[in-house]
Amino acid sequence: MQLEITKKIKEEAQRLGFFSCGVSKAGFLEEEAAHLEQWLKEGKHGKMAYLENHFDKRLNPTLLVEGAKSIISVLHNYFPEPHFKQPEGSPKISVYAWGIDYHIILKQKLLALAEYIQNTLFSDFQYRIFVDSAPVMDKVWARKSGLGWIGKHTNLISPKAGSYYFIGEIICNLDLSYDYPIRDFCGTCTRCIDACPTEALLPYQIDAKKCISYLTIELKTQTPLGFEEQSEGWAYGCDICQEVCPWNRFSRPHTGQEFKPLDFILQYSMEDWLNTEPTAFKKLTKTSAMSRIKWGKMQENLMFSQKKKLDSPKEKSSEE
């Protein structure tokens, strides 16, 4: 019975557009507890103080959802079609933010999956939906659900199609047939670590204080001196560690319309961005994940992304 219900849930998840779906048993994350505690103790979370909150709940989903027995994890592909490109010389924006805010899309689809379960499989279905919105270690649960392994760049990697995925989960009171973690296939590869311009990565650990994504999105204060020349042109997020990962050679463009790039992503030049007024910026990014930052932060990021270019000595004229 559990196996049949689990199979139907996975089939419905696929019908709704999720790339893959796996299930793990809810419980305390004992191994992760020590790692998280040490990471926080070393201050590698930077100024993301919220990561210090709800420590017990972050490690035990049964404290988030009373009677929780299972975590249903899903992956949704957001890898773009190759012909979609930002204008040459424009500030780089992480691919995950090119389309409609993933929180909106995934929550809608997870709600549809939950309603399917409640209406057709288990009427007493008690659940909560999470999409990067609560103290849930989503990558850990996706790994435990057999959807991939956590690579040296700390992103989840699917052996079928790389790491360009959003993760969501339903924590619920339903007993299901559980999946098992797969092995780590990173091997001796260190391309992500070697390519990181700010040296934010150690094997399987990130120092957020040095991460370009953190500096351009999470950090609300001024970017520390010394990082400007290492930005590699990124103004919102960073994809370098994913771009160099050999497993992303298996990435395939998503086929749905949900994460099709918004017009301004493919049209705005650096000059357009610099000339955007606060009200216009808010309107542009209203439905995008970029709404997480305000106009002032974006303006600082633009300067941050161009610092190396602006400071570089001009090429000598051929007449000199």
* Percent of the chain whose pLDDT exceeds 90: 88
Q: Where are the beta strands (DSSP E) in 127-255?
A: 127-130, 149-150, 156-157, 165-172, 201-202, 205-206, 234-236
Q: Is the dihedral of CA 296, 214, 51, 207 positive or negative?
A: negative
DSSP structure class, residue 61: G
**Residue 319 included in any domain:** no
Task: Provide the pLDDT confidence category of residue 319 given band limits of 50, 70 and 90.
Answer: very low
Q: What is residue 314's predicted lDDT score, i.e. its pLDDT?
A: 42
Q: 159: domain range?
A: 1-312
**Residue 253 included in any domain:** yes
Q: What is the pLDDT of residues 73-125, one digit of tens each?
A: 999 999 999 999 999 999 999 999 999 999 999 999 999 999 999 999 999 99
- Active-site residue, selected from the candidate residues 56, 101, 124, 132: 132
Q: What is residue 16's predicted lDDT score, i.e. its pLDDT?
A: 97
Q: Is the dihedral of CA 289, 59, 240, 302 positive or negative?
A: positive
**Residue 320 included in any domain:** no
Q: How many whole angstroms separate alpha carbon 12 and alpha carbon 277?
A: 44
Q: What is residue 309's predicted lDDT score, i.e. its pLDDT?
A: 53
Task: Determine which helix (DSSP H) or strand (DSSP E) holds 292, and give its type and residue range.
Answer: none
74 close to 114: Cβ distance less than 8 angstroms: no
Q: Which residue has the tokens 């216009």?
A: 280
> How many structural domains compose the chain?
1
| pTM for the whole structure | 0.93
**Residue 318 included in any domain:** no
Q: How many whole angstroms separate alpha carbon 141 and alpha carbon 25?
A: 9
Closest CA to 165 of 17, 306, 271: 17
Tokens of 155: 């992103």
Q: What is residue 229's predicted lDDT score, i.e. its pLDDT?
A: 78
Q: How many whole angstroms separate alpha carbon 176 and alpha carbon 169?
A: 14
Q: What is residue 227's predicted lDDT score, i.e. its pLDDT?
A: 82
Q: What is the pLDDT of residues 45-59, one digit of tens each?
A: 999 999 999 999 999
Q: How many whole angstroms separate alpha carbon 211 and alpha carbon 187?
A: 23
* Percent of the chain whose pLDDT exceeds 70: 96
**Residue 99 included in any domain:** yes
Residue 179 falls in the annotated catalytic set: no
Return the minimum-mean-pLDDT range out of 189-193, 246-250, 276-280, 311-315: 311-315
Q: What is the pLDDT of residues 140-155, one digit of tens each?
A: 999 999 999 999 999 9
29 close to 137: Cβ distance less than 8 angstroms: yes
**Residue 317 included in any domain:** no
DSSP structure class, residue 138: H
**Residue 92 included in any domain:** yes
Task: Determine which helix (DSSP H) or strand (DSSP E) holds 75, and give its type and residue range.
Answer: strand 70-77
**Residue 188 included in any domain:** yes
